[in-house]
């Protein structure tokens, strides 16, 4: 049986990703001074204007406006002709203190108040999902894996000036054809990249096939029937916040598994590690990846659910889609005996108090070797 699956990615100059990067830059700047800070930072951008808002409780003294300008500069919006420029954009900062009602449950869990020492409670109610599969070396689904690689390559050739006419905004999309649930070939590649006004469409097509697609996609996955759509509208000069408003947390499928696995609905960027919709999503990926790497299953999806102020998960669910090598109830036992899924356990295991969050923002929060939740470990399956 053959089927097709598509995932997309965006470059760091996409307006929503601009906002994600600003929010995570503010988070990192605060954590550098105060690892115990509580941060929920949201950003929106439109035209040459940025609004940073949210709730923060911290002893840190951070020049937020300067952090925002540096983040925009790092992305590459440094010319007035882009319609968005780190030097001239208007920035409003509206950050207030975190609700004391929320802090009651986060600082000390319900269990800790009852005498069981479990530390922090979950920062909110909700459920998260983690996923891994053996389609790529990084144990990520192939469509999102290559969509991210194409988007990242677009950024690289722009920043190293290999292709001088590129601008920061862009999107990629990859469709993989599967046969009997295994990736067979790349069926379709879509790339839309912002560019200078005077470059021809023919030049863009030539350069992107040569310097992006042929560099990223292995030749054995491409054939004479692979379809290419490069800037299919024919023109993409106006982009970034000048072309479309941006908002933190609006690319949650790009951030995770490209739609290949389920999503709990919570966004990540701008949130500190006590917010389990971020930290527990990282833990769920860590668990799922290690289940697959230890050959207990070829695919694994984990759901973990929480109640605000309660440390222990309300439920843990495992789905291996029929690819398990041992019974799923045994996999559940392995998970419960190897992984501490309380907020404090997650923070300690993954070292989440460190200012690491700018590294997560672009090209996916998963599948990057530099992130602690991507590390591999030998799991213990004998509990006698």
Instruction: Return the pLDDT at 380.
Output: 79
Domain count for the chain? 1
Q: Read off the pLDDT of residues 252-268 as tens digits, 9 standing for 90 and up.
A: 999 999 999 999 999 99
Q: How confident is the model at residue 384 (pLDDT cuts 50, 70, 90)?
A: very low
Supply the range of the domain harboring residue 156: 2-10+142-239
Its pTM stands at 0.94
What is the rounded distance in angstroms from the CA atom of residue 223 to the CA atom of residue 270?
A: 41
pLDDT-based confidence at 343, cuts 50/70/90? very high
Mean confidence (pLDDT) of the chain: 94
Q: Is residue 163 part of a domain?
A: yes
198 in any annotated domain? yes
CATH number for the domain harbouring residue 202: 3.30.300.10
Summarize pLDDT for 267-311 with one digit per residue, the tens.
Answer: 999 999 999 999 999 999 999 999 999 999 999 999 999 998 888
- Does the residue 196 lie in any domain? yes
Residue 115: pLDDT over 70:
no
Q: Which residues contact 19 (CB under 8 A, 6 or more apart)?
A: 42, 43, 44, 45, 246, 247, 248, 250, 269
In a domain, 129, yes or no: no
* pLDDT score, position 184: 97
Cα angle 46-49-50, degrees, rounded to a multiple of 5: 90
State the sign of the Cα–Cα–Cα–Cα dihedral 283, 156, 270, 127: negative
Q: Please report whether residue 219 resides in a domain.
A: yes
Alpha helices in the chain (DSSP H): 15-33, 64-75, 100-107, 110-113, 142-159, 201-208, 214-216, 240-243, 252-255, 276-293, 328-338, 343-350
Whether the per-residue pLDDT at 66 is higher than 60: the answer is yes
Nearest to 315 by CA among 336, 285, 330, 334: 336
Do 185 and 223 form a contact (C-beta atoms < 8 A)? yes
% the chain with pLDDT above 70: 93
Q: Average pLDDT, stretch 148-163?
A: 98
Cα separation, 166 vs 236, whole angstroms? 10
Q: Tell me whether residue 200 is in a domain.
A: yes
Is a pLDDT exceeding 60 seen at residue 216?
yes
User: Does residue 127 lie within any of the structural domains?
Assistant: no
């Amino acid at each position: 049986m053959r089927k097709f699956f598509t995932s997309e990615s965006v470059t760091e100059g996409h307006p929503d990703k601009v906002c994600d990067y600003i929010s995570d830059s503010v988070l990192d700047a605060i954590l550098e001074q105060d690892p115990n800070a509580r941060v929920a930072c949201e950003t929106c951008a439109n035209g040459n204007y940025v609004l940073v808002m949210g709730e923060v409780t911290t002893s840190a003294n951070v020049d937020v406006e300067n952090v925002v300008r540096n983040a925009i500069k790092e992305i590459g919006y440094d010319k007035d002709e882009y319609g968005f420029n780190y030097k001239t954009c208007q920035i409003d900062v509206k950050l207030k203190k975190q609700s004391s009602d929320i802090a009651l449950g986060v600082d000390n869990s319900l269990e800790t108040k009852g005498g069981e020492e479990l530390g922090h409670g979950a920062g909110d109610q909700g459920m998260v999902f983690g996923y891994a599969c053996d389609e790529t070396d990084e144990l990520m689904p192939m469509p999102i894996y290559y969509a991210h690689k194409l988007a990242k390559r677009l950024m690289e050739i722009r920043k190293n000036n290999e292709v001088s006419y590129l601008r920061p905004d862009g999107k990629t999309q990859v469709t993989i054809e599967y046969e009997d649930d295994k990736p067979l070939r790349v069926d379709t590649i879509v790339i839309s990249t912002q560019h200078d006004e005077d470059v021809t469409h023919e030049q863009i097509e030539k350069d992107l096939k040569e310097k992006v697609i042929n560099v990223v996609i292995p030749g054995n996955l491409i054939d004479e029937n692979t379809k290419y759509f490069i800037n299919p509208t024919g023109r993409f000069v106006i982009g970034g916040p000048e072309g479309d408003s941006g908002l933190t947390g609006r690319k949650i499928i790009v951030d995770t598994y490209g739609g290949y696995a389920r999503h709990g609905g919570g966004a990540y960027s701008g949130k500190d590690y006590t917010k389990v919709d971020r930290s527990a999503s990282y833990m769920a990926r860590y668990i799922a990846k290690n289940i697959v790497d230890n050959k207990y299953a070829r695919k694994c999806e984990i759901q973990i659910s929480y109640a605000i102020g309660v440390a222990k998960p309300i439920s843990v669910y495992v789905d291996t889609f029929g690819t398990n090598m041992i019974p799923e109830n045994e996999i559940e036992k392995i998970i419960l005996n190897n992984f501490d899924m309380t907020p404090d356990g997650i923070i300690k295991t993954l070292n989440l108090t460190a200012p690491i969050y700018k590294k997560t923002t672009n090209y996916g929060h998963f599948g990057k070797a530099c992130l602690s939740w991507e590390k591999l470990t030998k799991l213990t399956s004998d509990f006698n």
